Structure 1
Amino acid sequence: MDTLEITTPELINPMTYAQFKALSEALVAENKTTGPEQSEQRIGFTKLNQQRLKRVEKQFVLQPALQELLAQNQRAWKWLVLVEAWCGDGAQTLPAIAAIAAQAPNIELVVLLRDENPALMDTCLTNGSRAIPKLICVDAETGERLFTWGPRPTAIQAQVKQLKADRPDIHHDELVQQVQLWYAKDRSQALQQDMVQLLQEALQTQGAEV
């Protein structure tokens, strides 16, 4: 696995997961969202995402293989997650990421808004774009970047690519709806499969006893 040893830019307005949820709820009450684009569409997505967050929290079950790997890690890690309140993929994955981190005393989860942290966002672009969510795992002691993940679980992204190939003229709204259905059916399994692989590689890289 390639590791990146780069200086992490200053984190602007870092939040806990609970603080991010509270911010999102407050903005919904004000008919607003995060980021500079206060469009009706993004505000609507933010409202929908409150339901998605709660559903993922309720349904999440930690896979035994992932739980075992979390227990094996003896190093202090920071998980930096770049997201926005209107992001549908973020609403489906951030609660699961938070639940995973909560099971590991050595992991500190830090939630960051993409548009407030462009310098950090630009260190982990996807095909040149600022696609979110993005999870960056950093060794808290050395600052070494161990892995990045996102913006979607590998298995779900493969389904998206296949659908686009089969239906190149598919309307964006229909695509978004289908992706949300895949997330609902998957129940965070694909994300956890990705995390198992990434943690195995990170532990090996750090010379941990596996």
Structure 2
Amino acid sequence: MNTLTITTTQLVNPMTYQDFKALSEELVAQNKTSGEEQSEQRIGFTKLNQQRMKRVEKQFVLQPELKELLEQNQQTWKWMIMVESWCGDGAQLLPAIAAIAEEAPNVELTVLLRDENPALMETCLTNGSRAIPKLLCIDAETEERVFTWGPRPAAIQEQVKQLKAEKPDVSHDELVQQIQLWYAKDRSQSLQQDLVQVLQEVLSLEV
């Protein structure tokens, strides 16, 4: 993991979660999407993601163990999440991460568009690819990277690997559809389990 420090003054178009939702709604109204590629497929995904985000917001319940760990944290953290409006994983994860940050006393969340922040994206590639969403936790005082998470919960990624092993010729559309079904069934549990594990490691190092 490249932990190159990117100062917050270098961020392009930083947004709150509410800003991102407003941008997504505006893009849908204009029949557009975020990012460089204005394909029909990505415009369609942006529309679909509006419903996905609303469903996650309605269903999200914070796990007590994660809430307790967030309350234990004494450092002030900046959470920066890189995403795009067409990203299916982002639609499932961003609302939950925003809800978690809202409950965390020392966390401030900033949403960033991947394609507008290429220098930052280059510091958190996944096997050489610009997979999103990516959550970066920055120490607000030192601006050092505390942890990086993403682009997908470990439990769901394991299901993806298993499906690809069982069906090597699975189509992209079928895979995307199956991933969305897994997210709907999971109800943000795998994301929270991942963050519990990350926070346990980070906070134990700070003691």
- Place the TM-score, normalised by the shorter chain, in its bin: over 0.9
Taking only aligned residues, the RMSD between alpha carbons, in angstroms, comes to 1.1
2:14 matched residue in structure 1? 14
1:68 and 2:30 equivalent?
no
What displacement does 1:3 show?
Answer: 9.0
What displacement does 1:73 show?
Answer: 0.7
8 Å contact kept, 2:2–2:123: no
For 1:15, the aligned partner's letter is M
8 Å contact kept, 1:3–1:145: no
> Cα deviation per residue 1:179-201 (whole Å; 9 max; x = unaligned)?
00000000000000000011111
1:155 matched residue in structure 2? 155
What is the alpha-carbon distance in structure 1 between the residues aligned to residue 108 and residue 81 of structure 2? 11
What is the alpha-carbon distance in structure 1 between the residues aligned to residue 174 and residue 39 of structure 2? 19
1:118 and 2:118 equivalent?
yes
What displacement does 1:204 show?
Answer: 1.8
What displacement does 1:141 show?
Answer: 0.4
Classify the secondary structure of the residue corresponding to 1:110: strand
What displacement does 1:206 show?
Answer: 2.4
What is the alpha-carbon distance in structure 2 between the residues aligned to residue 119 and residue 144 of structure 1? 16
1:133 matched residue in structure 2? 133
1:98 matched residue in structure 2? 98
Classify the secondary structure of the residue corresponding to 1:138: strand
What is the alpha-carbon distance in structure 1 between the residues aligned to residue 205 and residue 2 of structure 2? 9
Dislocated runs of 4+, deviation >4 Å? none
What is the alpha-carbon distance in structure 2 between the residues aligned to residue 57 and residue 74 of structure 1? 27
For 1:165, the aligned partner's letter is A
What displacement does 1:143 show?
Answer: 1.3
> Cα deviation per residue 1:3-54 (whole Å; 9 max; x = unaligned)?
93x3215110000000000000001000001011111000000000000000
Structure 1 gap segments, 5+ residues each: none
- Identity, in percent, stands at 76
What is the alpha-carbon distance in structure 1 between the residues aligned to residue 116 and residue 86 of structure 2? 14
Structure 2 gap segments, 5+ residues each: none
What is the alpha-carbon distance in structure 1 between the residues aligned to residue 80 and residue 61 of structure 2? 22
**TM-score when normalising by structure 2:** 0.97
For 2:5, the aligned partner's letter is T
What displacement does 1:174 show?
Answer: 0.3
> Cα deviation per residue 1:39-84 (whole Å; 9 max; x = unaligned)?
1000000000000000000000000100100110111001010000
8 Å contact kept, 1:65–1:196: yes
2:86 matched residue in structure 1? 86
> Cα deviation per residue 1:147-200 (whole Å; 9 max; x = unaligned)?
111110000000000100110000100000000000000000000000001111
1:170 matched residue in structure 2? 170
8 Å contact kept, 1:136–1:147: yes
Richer in helix (by share): 2
What displacement does 1:105 show?
Answer: 2.1
Classify the secondary structure of the residue corresponding to 1:81: strand
8 Å contact kept, 1:73–1:203: yes
What is the alpha-carbon distance in structure 2 between the residues aligned to residue 99 and residue 206 of structure 1? 25
2:58 matched residue in structure 1? 58
For 1:52, the aligned partner's letter is R
Classify the secondary structure of the residue corresponding to 1:122: helix
